[in-house]
Amino acid sequence: MKIGVFSTFMSPLATPQMIQSFARRAEDSGLDSIWMGEHVALFDKNTYGYPASKDGRIPVPPGGGMLDVTATFGFLAAATTKLRFGTGVALIPQRNPIYTAKEMCTLDWLSNGRLDFGIGVGWNKEEVESCGYRWEDRGARCDEFMEVMRRLWTEPVVDFSGKWVKFETMRLDPKPIQKPHIPIIVGGYADASFRRAVQYGAGWYGFNLEPPRVKEMMAKLDAAFAKAGRKRSKDFQIIVTPPLAMSIDAMQAYADVGVDRLLVNLGGQKPEQVDKRLPQIASLVKKAA
């Protein structure tokens, strides 16, 4: 089992110096990857609450905000040589698919193939709508946008005629370093998410899950593979972030249920908290070796 870290870097604590130092320490400790969540904006009132907190709100420092994934990964790629970077998850239904395809293949190119593209449909209705899209059809739009990106990454010239995207003889270069394209890791717990993982994915990502819940999700995933007339291959990755409150000593249980990559939540980003948490996460690397 590979060990990485999930950290949604937030201002004002996540300064350039803090992020660079953290990444280098993570790489020196043997961690596999850094994953970041994504929200372009937060709202004082939401139709649906953030599912990973008791009060339904994302814990953001006063006066701070979440850093952009693409820019942060570009910064981190320049500060490291081995760490992989994963979007956990990129909110596809509210993104422009052509810009996203370009950003991600550029990151893959500049990092020498160190990117994993975690995707999902999101939970924040206000965010989707503020980006100019409808909430109700975000699943279908995610599928179309993923098809656009996958084709732009793999075909020299693309014609596309969909409900939301139409173009002719488009070229997008450079292509990703990784072949056939950047690994797509699908997050989510709905039947559509598992179907999407089978259709597009090189893996599935679960957030804030304990081992018994992971087993339940893997059973649903395998059912989706069976419905498509396939079996889950050994190359298909199961990636999970445990609950923040879960003890480091208890995390071997994820390997026992078949998790391939464990992304331990960093939690708070105050220097004293990072100094305590990072060695704990790094200790898992030795146990997993």
Instruction: Give backbone dihedrals phi and psi of 26, rounded to 5 degrees, phi first.
Output: -65, -45
User: Residue 89, preceding bond cis, omega within 30 degrees?
Assistant: yes
Per-residue pLDDT reduced to its tens digit, 137-194 = 999 999 999 999 999 999 999 999 999 999 999 999 999 999 999 999 999 999 999 9
Residues 65 and 10: their CA atoms lie apart, in Å, by 5
User: Residue 174, preceding bond cis, omega within 30 degrees?
Assistant: yes
Confidence of residue 50 (pLDDT cuts 50, 70, 90): confident
Residues 181 and 152: their CA atoms lie apart, in Å, by 10
Per-residue pLDDT reduced to its tens digit, 16-48 = 999 999 999 999 999 999 999 999 998 999 999
Total domains in the fold of the chain: 1
Domain interval for residue 115: 2-288
Question: At residue 59, does pLDDT exceed 80?
Answer: no
Per-residue pLDDT reduced to its tens digit, 100-123 = 999 999 999 999 999 999 999 999
Please, which residues have CB within 8 angstroms of residue 262's CB and are 6 or more apart in sequence?
1, 2, 3, 4, 239, 240, 241, 242, 251, 254, 255, 284, 288
Q: Are 153 and 101 in contact, with CB atoms under 8 Å apart?
A: yes
CATH of the domain at 126: 3.20.20.30
Per-residue pLDDT reduced to its tens digit, 77-91 = 999 999 999 999 999
Question: At residue 58, does pLDDT exceed 90?
Answer: no
What count of Cα atoms within 13 Å lies in the side-chain half-sphere of residue 90?
26
| pLDDT value at residue 133 | 97
